[in-house]
Amino acid sequence: MLARITKMKERFYYYARERRDGWRSWRFPRVLLLTGWLLMPGLLYSEEETPGPGPSLEEAIGQDSDSAQENESEENTEEDQRQDVNDTKLPPISSGNPGYGLNPGNPSVRFIDISLIGDFALGFSSQENDSLQNLQSGLHDPRRTGFSVTGLELSFSGAVDPYFYAEAHVNLAHGAELEEAFITSQSLPWGLQLEVGQFYTEFGILNPQHPHSWAWTDAPVIQTRLMGEHGLNSPGLRLGWLIPVPWFSELHFGIQNPDGEFMKSFLGASEEGGHSHGSEEEMPIGGYDTITREAKSSADMAYLIRWVNSVDLTETLVGRLGFSGMAGPNATGPSGHTVLYGADLYLKWRPETNYRGFPYFIWQSEFMRREYTVQKKPDNGR
């Protein structure tokens, strides 16, 4: 009989160890243990006074265990029902009726990502601040001794519907200035992607990037001389094609307005000497006089083509090679024309064993060339 008691206690403690999901799981072992000890005197007395067949201790305990298991089964059933409700999949989001951004019959919530990115710099120079305005020709370059707010960008982005994604970026460092506002397609066939709005021209590596993404605090000199202190930026459209090859290869075709304050090398140079936030306005390219010239047809637009390829050279080294070309009218006269050429190389090494991407090494180079055809003036012979 003592052996039975010990065995019974072991079973109850085993059951208690197995059920640790909450305070309810401990209630049944305590009740069962108490019931077992209360039944023991009755069973012993029954064996002494009235010998004969009767329910064993294991059977009595088994009945209580079955009752506990039934209660447990009911709790599990309720939990399963709640889980089924949580796991029920919602119907897919409807794209809405053609011509409408939202289908009133199937409302849905779309979230917008909002971010504010600030760039601050601290620098010292032996030159006066007026001289630094010319030496540091990038709009977001540090241009004075002491602290500078080189950028303060407020960005909005999010899905318009299942087919388009929208972005807007406003720079507040020099007053409210719209940098980009465009939509990008998400589900075009044959590896195509369309982008429409105002955006940075996809020329080279640096021009499409926002300054806070650069690896340097100031813009390269060649970048500001050929593309202006702000970079090439104008309304238009761009079509990208992901070429079906074993490595990453993409073609970009773009068309943008050639005028505007951010289109230096094209008609932007005719607008009061160009765009500038510095102490002096930008001088016309080469010192040539400019005229106010408007785009009157598709032939007067600025056209872009870019081809970029990326491949894993080794397990730790990634290489990317790109070629860019752009052509459009300039403001020296009715026949003035500009062609830009570019090539860029990007290499990134990162060891297989790293901590959150570190350490790594990046090599980035760009080559640019400009052919600037000017309108000859009879009065000065140029």
d(CA 165, CA 113): 12
Measure the CA–CA gap between 47 and 20, rounded to whole angstroms.
37
Tokens (6 digits) for 164: 């388009």
Helix (H) or strand (E) run with residue 338 in it: strand 337-349
pLDDT above 90: residue 60: no
What average pLDDT does range 147-172 have in this prediction? 94
Predicted local confidence at residue 198, as pLDDT: 97
Q: What's residue 49's pLDDT? A: 46
Query: Which residues make Cβ contacts (< 8 Å) with residue 324, sequence separation at least 6?
Result: 202, 203, 204, 304, 305, 306, 340, 341, 342, 343, 344
**pLDDT tens per residue across span 233-279:** 999 999 999 999 999 999 999 999 999 889 999 998 655 444 555 44
Residue ranges in the chain assigned as alpha helix (H): 2-18, 23-49, 57-87, 129-135, 221-227
Q: What percent of the chain has pLDDT over 70?
A: 65
Asked if 381 contacts 295 with a C-beta cutoff of 8 angstroms, the reply is no
Structure tokens at 253: 């075709």
pLDDT band (50, 70, 90) for residue 322:
very high
Q: Contacts for 110-114 with beta carbons within 8 Å, 24 or more apart?
A: 110/158, 110/159, 110/160, 111/158, 112/156, 112/157, 112/158, 113/155, 113/156, 113/157, 113/158, 114/154, 114/155, 114/156
Q: Pick 92 or 350 by higher pLDDT.
A: 350
Model's pTM, two decimal places? 0.67
**Cβ atoms of 363 and 319 closer than 8 Å:** no
Domain ranges of the chain: 2-83, 163-169+178-373
Six token digits for residue 72: 């447990």
Q: Are 148 and 142 in contact (CB under 8 A)?
A: yes
Residue 46 has a pLDDT of 41
Which residue carries 């889980």 as its tokens?
83
pLDDT at 103: 46
Q: Residue 286 and residue 284: Cα distance in Å, rounded? A: 6
Question: Which two structure tokens, joined as six digits, stand for 259?
Answer: 């005028």
Query: Where are the alpha helices (H) located in 171-235, listed in sequence order?
Result: 221-227
- For residue 359, say if its preceding peptide bond is cis, omega within 30 degrees of 0: yes
Q: Mean pLDDT in the chain?
A: 77
Q: Do β-strands 177-185 and 233-242 pair in parallel, antiparallel, or remain unpaired?
A: unpaired
Q: What does the pLDDT look like over 282-315, one tens digit per residue?
A: 566 766 777 788 888 899 999 999 999 999 999 9
